[in-house]
């Protein structure tokens, strides 16, 4: 189903609404996705001459709203979350058409360098501090603090690269999630918000079955080397200044035995922060990741349950080991990434079973 694609300049001021389907666009948990769309040159000239380049300028913002389809009775089907991002290379030209790439708004923070300084505190305080530094490094696209949740543990980091890099590191060490969302305010200005969650998403009642999905690829894939014992080392210039902490996941050790690894945590120079990071890694990597891929069809309200971080129910009688013997599983699975193509009107999902 076609979506509404609106373009804003790098000060988040409205420029134009473009008739161009995305083919596709994607959302990624704790990362950034991508949207692709193509625009005819005659269309650009007819609608926007002589400002064709202004409309598709690099660093312009793109806000895409899904338009729900309707069933035979006229009832609206489910609606996907809004997508927001920024136009960046690559851009390709063919006869009579230009193909544009945009990357979701989390990618803006790759262009926000951090000062060379050390920070420490709870995840929320560090997140706010990094957003503050990001605001100081650019005076156009503003990303405001949004929903910011916290943990009682403290962490630390030696800032050196971009806000994006260090926010991802914070979330990995703390076992948290983040994203950037948007809404249009009463003045027609696009407002961006950076959000930090203990765990992003909601438990949905959607069950993925043969009625609302298509299979694509393996029924179930178990990936990633498990580590249930993490010997964590802080960043240090000398042996005497280096801290050591061991994180253990006892349930995994009881099941598989010890699977240990050395890990130096870049940017961490504090004993408490190191202990928290090592334990978080041991818990996150304690078992192989169970991944499934399903393509969700536009049936009923299914699309309304789809957003990164949300959990749905997946059932398959042909993959995995049952605890009491035999094969098959029925379990909750978390959406790691979501794609949507306006032309196919289908939503491929990558999910992690837990």
Tell me the average pLDDT of the chain. Answer: 95
Q: Are residues 317 and 297 in the same domain?
A: yes
**pLDDT digits 0-9 by tens, 263-314:** 999 889 889 999 999 999 999 999 999 999 999 999 999 999 999 999 999 9
CA neighbor of 166 nearest in space, from 123, 105, 201, 230: 123
**pLDDT digits 0-9 by tens, 85-107:** 999 999 999 999 999 999 999 99
Output the CA angle 41-43-44, nearest 5 degrees. Answer: 65
Give the pLDDT band (50/70/90) at residue 51.
very high
Domain end, chosen from 105, 128, 161, is at 105
Domain end, chosen from 284, 303, 325, is at 284
Give the pLDDT band (50/70/90) at residue 1.
low
Q: Are residues 219 and 333 in the same domain?
A: yes
**pLDDT digits 0-9 by tens, 266-280:** 889 889 999 999 999
Q: In which domain, by residue range, is 345 found?
A: 203-223+288-353
pLDDT value, residue 99: 98
CA 196 from centroid of its chain's CA atoms:
12
What percentage of the chain has pLDDT greater than the value 90? 88
pLDDT value, residue 316: 87
Mean pLDDT, rounded, for 156-163: 96
| Assessment of whether the complete model's pTM goes beyond 0.75 | yes
- Which CATH number do you get for residue 89? 2.40.30
């Amino acid at each position: 189903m076609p979506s509404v694609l609106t373009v804003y300049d790098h000060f988040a001021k409205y420029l134009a609404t473009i008739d161009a389907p995305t083919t596709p666009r994607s959302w990624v948990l704790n990362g950034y996705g991508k949207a692709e769309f193509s625009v005819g040159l005659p269309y650009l000239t007819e609608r926007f001459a002589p400002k064709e380049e202004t409309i598709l300028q690099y660093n312009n913002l793109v806000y895409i709203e899904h338009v729900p389809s309707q069933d035979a009775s006229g009832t609206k089907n489910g609606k996907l979350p809004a997508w927001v991002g920024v136009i960046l290379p690559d851009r390709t030209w063919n006869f009579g058409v230009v193909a544009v790439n945009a990357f979701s708004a989390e990618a803006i923070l790759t262009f926000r360098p951090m000062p060379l300084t050390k920070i420490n505190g709870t995840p929320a305080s560090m997140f706010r501090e990094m957003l503050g530094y990001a605001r100081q490094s650019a005076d156009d696209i503003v990303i405001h603090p949004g929903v910011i949740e916290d943990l009682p543990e403290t962490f630390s980091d030696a800032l050196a690269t971009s806000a994006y890099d260090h926010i991802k590191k914070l979330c990995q060490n703390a076992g948290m999630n983040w994203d950037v969302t948007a809404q249009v305010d009463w003045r027609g200005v696009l407002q961006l918000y950076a959000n930090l969650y203990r765990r992003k998403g909601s438990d949905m009642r959607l069950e993925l079955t043969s009625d609302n999905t298509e299979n694509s690829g393996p029924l179930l894939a178990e990936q990633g080397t498990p580590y249930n014992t993490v010997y964590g080392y802080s960043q240090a210039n000398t042996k005497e200044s280096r801290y050591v902490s061991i994180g253990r996941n006892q349930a995994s050790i009881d099941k598989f035995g010890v699977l240990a690894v050395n890990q130096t945590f870049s940017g961490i120079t504090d004993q408490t922060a190191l202990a928290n990071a090592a334990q978080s890694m041991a818990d996150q990597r304690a078992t192989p990741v169970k991944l499934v891929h399903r393509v969700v069809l536009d049936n009923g309200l299914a699309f309304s349950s789809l957003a990164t971080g949300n959990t749905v129910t997946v059932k398959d009688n042909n993959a995995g080991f049952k605890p009491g013997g035999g094969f098959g599983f029925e379990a909750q699975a978390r959406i790691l990434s979501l794609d949507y193509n306006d032309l196919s009107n289908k939503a491929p999902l990558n999910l992690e079973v837990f």
